[in-house]
Structure 1
Amino acid sequence: MTVSPKAKGWIRAAVDYGAPLSFMVAFLITRDAVTASWALVGGAGVALLVGYVAERRIAPMPLIAGVAALIFGGMTLIFHDERFIKIKPTVLNLGFAAFLLGGVATRRNPLKALLGETLRMPDEAWRTLTLRYGIFFLCAAVLNEAVWRTQSTYVWAWFRFPGLQILAILFSLTQAPLMMKHAKAADEEAPAIPPPPTE
């Protein structure tokens, strides 16, 4: 199945945001987080299926987020307890933070392993970027805990989507100067040899 670059962009957006958008729409209609979790579970399942059918693969982070939506959404429905869906962003962001910060602590570059094919930078720049993203995910987890424990479900739902996504986009924009600076330096240092062909 051949998919155009523009269609791939829409498919990736659907995989990334399909589940939380489905939950938010259902919550605004029902005003019930447990009932809206049906939409979260269904949206996550459909998004993962569409992504796999279109590209025959799903990137690691959307896959983890989709599986987490299925697990925590399912637990919310089974136990009729909205706390499960509220702690999902906390657990997910803590997991991402542990993965990235653990990589920095062990002198590895997990972010480079995920994005190295699309962005060339020196290892030191990758470590800096990994540390910053690890701290961001840790802060996002703490912030989610603060919001759902002190605010109404309605406020938390808006914070969950699109609030967290907006924060992630703004944070990524603040990292653009670092990436542009070191990506340029890496290009200048690289030998003038074309990269080997990839399958």
Structure 2
Amino acid sequence: MAEKREINPLMKTALELGPVIAFFIAYVMLKDDTFTIGGRAYSGFILVTAGFVPLIVITTGILWKLTGHLSKMQIMTLLLVVIFGGLTVWLNDPKFIKMKPTILYTFFGGALGLGLLRGQSYLRHVMEGMMPLKDEGWMILTRRMMIFFFGLAVANELVWRLMSESAWVNFKTFGLTAALFAFFMGQSRLLHDYGIDDEGET
């Protein structure tokens, strides 16, 4: 088993967010274009997706090589991008990559819910080193995050099915990221009430 290593936070952020930013920039540049390849017409969205899939494979591979570790969310995201991105390009149908966030967030919401039914916080196993909390705090945060994940899944479905392609790209690039940031910012009271101090009190 590879030893987990720390890397420069800016490098880590660039490897994690770089493919998404590159996807957005390429989409803005190519969204109105159509490309004929092998006698078949592809929209700019499909072509950008075709580039996004290998890019995220490469950056995730680099991240694993540098850190010796990938989180379950990173692995799941990679698998879904390869599967649904591949289907998008192969079938020339953008709906598959648009469904990816729905499936990802439903999976994680369901996993957290399963843990809660068993009286456990699976979130704690992933984030305990970043957010030291008392047991009750972890259970509360896990319930909130489960609901939040299911909410994101519903929001993604509504946006891609009812709104324009450009609206979905903006939602995927900025909306989901902003929502995650806002969620954790909104947990400050919980962290204050259930946080464990430096002496390790519980």
TM-score by length of 1: 0.86
Structure 2 distance, partners of 1:120, 1:187, is: 12
Structure 1 runs not aligned, ≥5 long? 191-199
Which 10-residue stretch deviates more, 139-148 or 119-128? 119-128
4+ runs deviating over 3 angstroms: 184-188
Does 1:130 pair with 2:137? no
Residue by residue over 1:138-193, the C-alpha shift from the partner in whole angstroms, topping out at 9 and shown as x without a partner, is: 00000011111111101110011011101110111001221233114685625xxx
Structure 1 distance, partners of 2:16, 2:107, is: 17
Q: Is the CA contact (8 Å cut-off) linking 2:134 and 2:196 kept in structure 1?
A: no
Query: Which of these residues, 48, 53, 56, is aligned with residue 41 of structure 1?
Result: 53
CA shift, 1:74, in A, is 1.0
Structure 2 runs not aligned, ≥5 long? 32-43
Q: Is the CA contact (8 Å cut-off) linking 1:14 and 1:47 kept in structure 2?
A: no
In structure 1, the residue corresponding to 2:120 is in which secondary structure?
coil
Q: Which amino acid aligns with 2:115?
A: G
Does 1:82 pair with 2:87? no
Does 1:95 pair with 2:107? yes
In structure 2, the residue corresponding to 1:49 is in which secondary structure?
helix
Identity across matched positions, percent: 26
Structure 1 distance, partners of 2:155, 2:97, is: 15
Q: What is the match of residue 12 of structure 2? A: 12
Q: Is the CA contact (8 Å cut-off) linking 2:50 and 2:89 kept in structure 1?
A: yes
Residue by residue over 1:63-113, the C-alpha shift from the partner in whole angstroms, topping out at 9 and shown as x without a partner, is: 221222122111111111000011011011101110111111211110111
TM-score by length of 2: 0.85
Query: Which of these residues, 97, 100, 118, is aligned with residue 106 of structure 1?
Result: 118
Query: Which of these residues, 64, 88, 99, is aligned with residue 76 of structure 2?
Result: 64
In structure 2, the residue corresponding to 1:121 is in which secondary structure?
coil
Q: What is the match of residue 24 of structure 1? A: 24
Query: Which of these residues, 151, 156, 181, is aligned with residue 193 of structure 2?
Result: 181
Structure 1 distance, partners of 2:123, 2:15, is: 20
Whose helix proportion is higher, 1 or 2?
1
Count of residue pairs brought into register by the alignment: 186
Structure 1 distance, partners of 2:86, 2:200, is: 50
Q: Which amino acid aligns with 2:147?
A: I
Structure 2 distance, partners of 1:143, 1:41, is: 23
Q: CA RMSD, aligned part only?
A: 1.9
Q: What is the match of residue 196 of structure 1? A: none
Which 10-residue stretch deviates more, 131-140 or 176-185? 176-185
Q: Is the CA contact (8 Å cut-off) linking 1:41 and 1:73 kept in structure 2?
A: yes
Structure 2 distance, partners of 1:62, 1:132, is: 21
